[in-house]
Amino acid sequence: MPSANPQIQRNIGGYLDHLLVERGLAKNSMAAYRRDLGRYQEYLVSKGITDFSVVSANEVSDFLISLRLGSKQHPALAPSSAARTLIAVRGLHAFLAKEGITASDCARAVKPPAISKRLPKALTFAEIEKLLNAVGAGSDSDLSILMMRDHALLELLYGTGARISELTDLGLDDVSTLSKQLPILRLKGKGNKERLVPVGSHALRALDRYLVRSRPVLSGKSTASSALFLNARGSKLSRQSAWTILQAAAERAGLAGKVSPHTMRHSFATHLLENGADVRVVQELLGHASVTTTQIYTLVTVDQLREVYATAHPRAQTR
């Protein structure tokens, strides 16, 4: 543990003894607490603080910020790691207040950083092309009836940002009005909320080929179904089967383990935003009730911010 005022060292040592003896923390947990509190002690030393009685919520909050920003001595921490460190600091201050060492628990009001929802990594456009070519490359004569269906399904999945269940729930009536002049698809999302989504030319061509050459063959294998996408027996394609189609295409494209239905939706949103689309337009296309949900896609890491700032701001660059 870094050198510090003996009083601070004794207080932190007392808390660590409490964790070991009274709470019986495991060896690895104790090591994590020592590391986190050692960094906190180092921070207090750098601020010239020699007694916990003068520490306020502002100092604890500033320490949390320093964890996220990093320094020459320490790399920046992810929100989850910073939250873990703050838990150790909050536990320390609660202990000090309970023992009467400090008048109050100053860290109680400092909240841990919000941990953003984990999103699948967006595919690059080149990877999307590989995936779509895995089921749609070649002339009509080279493609099987099922590959024409699979190509139409995946083109629509990426081209509209739809949930896979929204596509498997489509009926023939939903695409009967699609045309080059008015390529707008009506999707029914969560809570039966409807939205209108444009359909691109590639998806439109793949869908047209499926409807003309593939679906009539599939529908003839069973009783007539009103579903747009049919399985090999002529019945409605299930959500699970659509997921299997996507996984098989990913394997053929060399993308096994990188693709899920939500990856396609995430890639759709990310590529739109990267190419200048307004976040509120993307919100409408995805069918999000709140733009806050869509803004998850626009988040950048602290490291990215620092890198852009360091390379772009004239007063941040070294001479």
In terms of Cα–Cα distance, which of 216, 185, 217, 190 is closest to 203?
185
Catalytic site residue from 39, 130, 209, 265: 265
Q: How crowded is residue 61: how many other Cβ atoms within 10 Å of its Cβ?
A: 16
Q: Which helix (H) or strand (E) holds 308?
A: helix 302-312
Catalytic site residue from 15, 158, 210, 297: 297
| Residue 163 is a catalytic residue | yes
Catalytic site residue from 98, 108, 111, 190: 190
Catalytic site residue from 93, 130, 236, 288: 288
Q: How crowded is residue 130: how many other Cβ atoms within 10 Å of its Cβ?
A: 18
CA dihedral 269, 270, 276, 281 (to 10 degrees): 20
Q: Return phi, psi of residue 161, to 5°.
A: 70, 20
| Residue 313 is a catalytic residue | no
- The answer to whether 107 and 95 are in contact (CB under 8 A) is no
Distances (CA, A) of 193 to 210, 237, 284: 27, 22, 11
Task: State both tokens at 58.
Answer: 């502002």
Half-sphere exposure of 1 (CA within 13 A, CB side): 22
Task: State both tokens at 118.
Answer: 């984990």
| Residue 288 is a catalytic residue | yes
Question: Which long-range contacts link 272-275 to residues 24+ away (Cβ below 8 Å)?
Answer: 273/297, 273/298
- The answer to whether 113 and 61 are in contact (CB under 8 A) is no
| Residue 15 is a catalytic residue | no
Distances (CA, A) of 192 to 162, 187, 196, 242: 14, 9, 13, 21
Catalytic site residue from 163, 215, 236, 266: 163
- The answer to whether 125 and 272 are in contact (CB under 8 A) is no
Q: Is 103 helix (H, G, I), strand (E, B) or coil?
A: coil
| Residue 266 is a catalytic residue | no
In terms of Cα–Cα distance, which of 287, 283, 247 is closest to 163?
287
Question: What's the DSSP call for residue 52?
Answer: G
Catalytic site residue from 47, 121, 262, 280: 262
| Residue 43 is a catalytic residue | no
Catalytic residues: 163, 190, 262, 265, 288, 297
